[in-house]
Amino acid sequence: RLLAGAPPAGPVDAVVLATATPDHLCPGTAPALAARLGLGTVPALDIAAVCSGFVYGLALCHGLVASGLYGRVLLVGADVYSTWLDPEDRSAGVVFGDGAGAALVAAGQAGDPGELLAFDLGSDGTGYELITVPGGGARSRASGKPPALSDAYFRMQGSTVYQHAVERMTGSCRTLLERVGWDPAEVEHFVPHQANARILRAVADRVGIGPQRCVTHLERVGNTGAASIPLALADAAGRGVLRGGDRVLLTAFGGGLTWGSAALRWPGTPQTDSTISTEGTQHVAVR
């Protein structure tokens, strides 16, 4: 559901914030977020997988709960792309948006709607320069050279990124579908990172999922980075598109390069308590 600015009902044991636009280079933003939500002194950390952040974060939170380390983990995907866009680059300005979405991952019962079946995650650091903000970090500071003004802005090699995104998301989806034993025709809702319509259509077509089963939200809010998948899910749930038990395939690609996919059964509407599970003795729920 959307993060409404108030802590979720019941205790939260930890906070994970997926963002590529933290408030500061140091410290992380998650502790401040936890404090603003009134969650006290719970552990809180940022993860920086750019547009793959929500899928990476979901896998991390699932692991924290399945291991028994924490009972309830709040996952937030949030990005403020307007702060790092070059005002002279009109091509990027019309693509990106600002947004935030959240999910609560908690221990639950196996077999209920919302079962989380598997993840597929990957990265390729040889392509880190394809999506980057060149200046501001330790690498540029250590160079001893004065940064160029343009180095403070987001840069992306569009055509090359398109090729990588389509290839990596397609491969990740195919791997995951084989792992969980789903035929593409059995996927009721395909929810890719909302990068752009061309990438979404290309991946869906290659995986074998028809456009009528693709959940899209970018035509109204643009590419909101780590927030794009939870925002698309919240929008679809609000319109009554998703039903409890539906097979849902998530996939994303982002800077790093990073990518990832998740297969789950939809838990129901955002207002309904529901469960996702693992194969071990500890089971996990999303609210």
Answer whether residue 84 is part of any domain. Answer: yes
Q: Give the Å distances, CA to CA, from 137 to 27, 56, 157.
A: 13, 22, 20
Tens-place pLDDT, residues 207-216: 999 999 999 9
Residue 122 and residue 27 share a domain: no
Whether 223 is catalytic is: yes
Q: Is the pLDDT of residue 260 over 70?
A: yes
- pLDDT given for residue 268 in this prediction: 61
Answer whether residue 37 is part of any domain. Answer: yes
Residue 121 and residue 103 share a domain: no
Residue 151 and residue 75 share a domain: no
Q: What is the pTM of this model?
A: 0.88
Answer whether residue 148 is part of any domain. Answer: yes
Residue 120 and residue 89 share a domain: no
Residue 185 and residue 64 share a domain: no
Confidence label for 275 from pLDDT (cuts 50, 70 and 90) = very low
Strand order through the sheet with 258-265: 116-123, 258-265, 247-254, 189-192
Determine which one of 51, 61, 173, 214 is catalytic: 51
For the chain, what is the domain count?
2
Using the 3D structure, point to which of 83, 107, 131 is the last residue of a domain. Answer: 107
Q: Which two tokens stand for residue 178?
A: 């084989």
Answer whether residue 75 is part of any domain. Answer: yes
Coil, strand or helix at 48: coil
Whether 196 is catalytic is: no
Residue entry with tokens 């401040």: 32
Residue 90 and residue 129 share a domain: no
Find all residues with CB under 8 Å of 272, minimum gap 6, and list them.
Answer: 244
Coil, strand or helix at 53: helix
Answer whether residue 223 is part of any domain. Answer: yes
Q: Is the pLDDT of residue 277 over 50?
A: no
Residue 28 and residue 78 share a domain: yes
- The residue among 81, 55, 82 whose CA lies nearest residue 172 is 55
- Top pLDDT among 91 and 119 is at 119
Confidence label for 199 from pLDDT (cuts 50, 70 and 90) = very high
Mean pLDDT of the chain: 87
Question: 94: domain range?
Answer: 14-107
CATH classification at residue 152: 3.40.47.10
**151 vs 127: CA distance, rounded Å:** 18
Residue 148 and residue 80 share a domain: no
Residue 187 and residue 245 share a domain: yes
Determine which one of 193, 214, 217, 283 is catalytic: 193
Whether 51 is catalytic is: yes
Residue 178 and residue 143 share a domain: yes
Answer whether residue 6 is part of any domain. Answer: no
Tens-place pLDDT, residues 3-54: 434 556 678 999 999 999 999 999 999 999 999 999 999 999 999 999 999 9
- pLDDT given for residue 151 in this prediction: 86
Residue 129 and residue 46 share a domain: no
Answer whether residue 286 is part of any domain. Answer: no
Using the 3D structure, point to which of 89, 107, 125 is the last residue of a domain. Answer: 107
Determine which one of 62, 217, 223, 283 is catalytic: 223
Residue 130 and residue 219 share a domain: yes
Count of positions (residues) in the chain:
287
